[in-house]
Structure 1
Amino acid sequence: MLPQAEINRVLYVTAHPDDVDFGAAGSAALFVDQGVEVTYLLVTDGDAGGNERTLDNTGMAELRRSEQRAAAKAVGVTDVRFLGHPDGQVVPSLELRRSVARVIRQVRPDLVVTHHPDRNYRFVAPSHPDHRAVGGATLDAVYPDARNPYAFPELLLEEGLEAWTVREVWLTGGPAPDHYVDVTDVIDRKLAALQSHVSQVAHVEGFAEVVKSRFAAWAEQAGFGPGRYAEAFQVVPTA
């Protein structure tokens, strides 16, 4: 794995507001605490989500962008970007690959964190079609698009964005994680980030305990012991 001392910038690429917080806000908080530059890139505004049906899609998109910025603030992330694709209609297109490759070249991350592109038959919730599309497009943007100066040449010729090689990718939501991050010390910040998504979670009875039990189970699987919480990833080297 990429040594911690060599991780200076991390880019999280997710489909919807709240995805990064369910999957990886704890690791984001830890990176921020270590002085790492963290950027969130959201492909949609989440306009098809939520339980507040008095809002039209435009109103829901605005609300969810605001909730995501508040969630990011809870863990210390200030760079939050949106691509504005329609929620529920994301496909791993050349357009999406170009958009993600553009941000990779702008941010120049050592590590990218994104969705697993395969369906998880053990736990279907992470396998939303948008998640799988974003994960696949992001992996394609990492390899080969962002590193290949001949891919999307307009990014260089028109925008001055030089090719960039991401050294490692962490995937969330997959069926076979092989790397666990102990987030016990920042679990309260992770919960605060999740609870910022009022339109999504306010109706869930005992939400905090549900979340804590899920991440306690990951910690147990990782061997961290009782009373610990963990996030789970599959590591993909890109060399």
Structure 2
Amino acid sequence: MPGAPFDPAKHQVRRVVAFGAHPDDLDFGVSGTVAAWTAAGVEVHYCIMTDGDAGGFDPEHRASIVAMRHEEQRGAAALVGVTDVHFLGYRDGYLEPSHEVMRDVVELVRRVRPDVVIAMHPERNWDRIQKSHPDHLACGEAVTRAMYPAVENPFAYPELAEAGLDAYRLPWLWLYAGPKDRTNYYSDMTAFVDTKIAALHVHISQHPDVAAMEESVRLRMRASAHDGGLVSGASAEEFHIVSVNNPETIAGF
């Protein structure tokens, strides 16, 4: 049925493309779920939209920050079982849901043809506005627009079809870092908490207080599990899952 909830027992996930605005966004938001997937044999691709060139805290890192953040992201991805990391190379703080960005998204998704696309939420989170960096919102808006209708429209970005990247109907779009009232799925990643934390530690250029970062992340994961009704002591990541195409979807509706 349209809008039917995601059920891991019924809906097989074999390939995933996960989008983040900056290096470390995916590690904060979804890396526990990703680690669980890759441990089960799922192929996961990371796509980082900006180079994170406005990040960090040390002025001495300005000349090397892009290379540093690329290296950090590759290292963090490897810890959660991801070997395919794509960098779109947009400027940190200037990301917009433009057709240039959407075309890049469509190209990658048509190439990988995943069961799930993960992206940041396009809606602002007023309860914790730090989740809603303008680049985060642009990431979510660009990916959401690209998943319908562009990725499945053979006449959108025709040069992609001419290059052999045919239109593709995505089953599921998973959004993260959005408003609390949009959450409709709590991913139990209790067994991969330490893996997620290890991945976050790799992003050393972004953490002036590593201990505070770790404590905050652990507390939030436990709070999410509680909100999701998981067993005591569990940890979870939150998603707003949208069914894009299912057996009852018809063209254009």
**TM-score after normalising by structure 1:** 0.96
Q: Distance in 1 between matches of 2:14 and 2:168?
A: 14
Native 8 Å contact 1:2 1:167 kept in 2: no
Q: Distance in 2 between matches of 1:6 and 1:32?
A: 13
Residue 164 (str. 1) matches residue 168 (str. 2): yes
Residue 198 (str. 1) matches residue 225 (str. 2): no
Question: Secondary structure of 2:128's match?
Answer: coil
| Count of residue pairs brought into register by the alignment | 237
Structure 1 residue 104, shift from structure 2 partner: 0.4
Residue 75 (str. 1) matches residue 86 (str. 2): no
Native 8 Å contact 1:17 1:65 kept in 2: yes
Q: CA RMSD in A?
A: 1.2
Q: Distance in 2 between matches of 1:202 and 1:195?
A: 11
87-96 or 202-211, which deviates more: 202-211
1-10 or 161-170, which deviates more: 1-10
Q: Distance in 1 between matches of 2:79 and 2:208?
A: 17
Which of the residues 240, 248, 251 maps onto 1:234?
Answer: 240
Partner of 1:224: 230
Which of the residues 87, 96, 104 maps onto 1:91?
Answer: 96
String of CA shifts for 1:112-149, please: whole Å, max 9, x gaps: 01011011111111100000001001011111111110
Q: Which runs of 4+ in 1 moved over 3 A?
A: 1-5
Structure 1 residue 206, shift from structure 2 partner: 3.0
AA aligned opposite 2:121: H
Q: Distance in 1 between matches of 2:210 and 2:73?
A: 18
Question: Secondary structure of 1:146's match?
Answer: helix
Structure 1 residue 168, shift from structure 2 partner: 0.6
Partner of 2:13: 7
Partner of 1:154: 159
Q: How does 1:97-136 map to 2 (within 5 A)?
A: 97-136=102-141
Which of the residues 3, 15, 39 maps onto 1:33?
Answer: 39
Native 8 Å contact 1:195 1:202 kept in 2: no
Q: Distance in 2 between matches of 1:225 and 1:202?
A: 33
Native 8 Å contact 2:72 2:203 kept in 1: yes
AA aligned opposite 1:43: M
Unaligned runs of 5+ in 1: none
Q: Distance in 1 between matches of 2:241 and 2:7?
A: 13
Question: Secondary structure of 2:37's match?
Answer: helix
String of CA shifts for 1:170-224, please: whole Å, max 9, x gaps: 1101112110011110000000011110001243443322210011110110111
Question: Secondary structure of 1:206's match?
Answer: helix
Q: Distance in 1 between matches of 2:92 and 2:132?
A: 14
Residue 174 (str. 1) matches residue 185 (str. 2): no
String of CA shifts for 1:58-111, please: whole Å, max 9, x gaps: 511110000000100111110000000000000100100000000001111110
3-12 or 35-44, which deviates more: 3-12
What percent identity do the matched residue pairs reach? 43
Q: Distance in 2 between matches of 1:189 and 1:205?
A: 16
Native 8 Å contact 1:29 1:75 kept in 2: yes
Residue 210 (str. 1) matches residue 216 (str. 2): yes
Partner of 2:251: none
AA aligned opposite 2:178: G
